[in-house]
Structure 1
Amino acid sequence: MAGGVMVAIDESECSLYALQWTVENLRQAASPLIIFTAQPIADLSYIPAATYGSAPPELVRSLQEHRKKVSLALLDHAKEICTKNGLTDVETMMEVGDAKEAICEAAEKHQVKLLVLGSHGKGALQRAFLGSVSNYCVHHAKCPVLIVKN
């Protein structure tokens, strides 16, 4: 699906607010609407290496499956929001990887006209140390980016 609007979501309230805002305010421009989420790569750094040497493969698979289920449930919920608001031309997609890079790559790949993101409301200090997905996308996406503040 090329063109249209892509809303990148995660499990946060602000991203679902951005989706709801898009559905309510950009109904005509949001067709087709792409709802995108990035499934993070399993972070096993909290498992003491001295205890296991490396994470057991079954643990890695279990964590990846759990994250996939959470991501798919999130996309289903997002699609329900669209359906309840009468928007039916909706496609959902998920990629595994770093959210900020995956969002920009998906937006370019699908030639979206507008990328919509929610704002987590991080202050300047938090953004400096933790980074900001929305800030990264504003500077790296090859399409206009709309940040919806909650």
Structure 2
Amino acid sequence: MATATATATEAEKSVIVVGVDDSVHSFYALHWALDHFFAPFASNSPYNLVVVHAKPSPTSVVGFAGPGAADVLPFVEKDLKTIAARVIEKAKEICISKSVNDLLVKMVEGDARNVLCEAVEKHHASILVVGSHGYGAIKRAVLGSVSDYCAHHAHCSVMIVKKPKIKH
């Protein structure tokens, strides 16, 4: 894992932020980023890696207030923490399996769109890598597209990685 003290060369490296959630699309994007930005350079990559998972707040997931909401929220929070821990652990395992050991993995509570754009700013990232869920126009309109938002609002290049469709 990344340490607080960076050598001069590490400090001069460009930063790549990769957003992950519990979808196959985001883990595909992480694999893709590692294969294209880290593997070709072996242990001497010109990039520092920051992997970010945005954990939604329980109230944003439950989506209602009033009687009963207070009873449900602790259970939702527990589930969200469990999912976040699983996502973080899987991201670390993927990075280690690709011999990328020098990385920063973070879990930040909030909306993924804002969390990723803030991570880009905080770490002065050159590239943000996100997966595409491949939602159609209606789902995108209802759910909002994290990749679309980041492409318009992140202050760096945004790589939207699409998982190839399986041919039958």
* TM more than 0.5: yes
Please state if 1:45 is matched with 2:63: yes
* Contact kept? 1:5, 1:34, Cα under 8 Å: yes
Partners of 1:55 and 1:10 in 2: CA distance: 25
Partners of 2:149 and 2:74 in 1: CA distance: 30
Partners of 2:119 and 2:49 in 1: CA distance: 13
In the alignment, which residue of structure 1 is the partner of 2:30? 19
In the alignment, which residue of structure 2 is the partner of 1:10? 21
In the alignment, which residue of structure 2 is the partner of 1:33? 49
Shift of 1:60: 2.0
Please state if 1:65 is matched with 2:81: no
- Structure 1 stretch 125-134 or stretch 11-20: which is displaced more? 125-134
Amino acid at match of 2:116: I
Shift of 1:54: 4.6
Partners of 2:46 and 2:85 in 1: CA distance: 21
Give the secondary-structure state (helix, strand or coil) at the position aligned to 2:57: coil
In the alignment, which residue of structure 2 is the partner of 1:86? 99
Amino acid at match of 2:85: L
Larger relative contact order (Cα-Cα within 8 Å, sequence gap ≥ 6): 1
Partners of 1:126 and 1:118 in 2: CA distance: 16
2:70 to 56, 72, 91: 56
Aligned CA RMSD, in angstroms, stands at: 2.0
- TM-score normalised to structure 2 length: 0.78
Number of aligned residue pairs: give it: 145
Please state if 1:114 is matched with 2:127: yes
Gaps of 5+ in 2: 3-10, 164-168
Shift of 1:145: 0.4
Gaps of 5+ in 1: none
- TM-score normalised to structure 1 length: 0.87
Identical aligned residues as a percent: 38
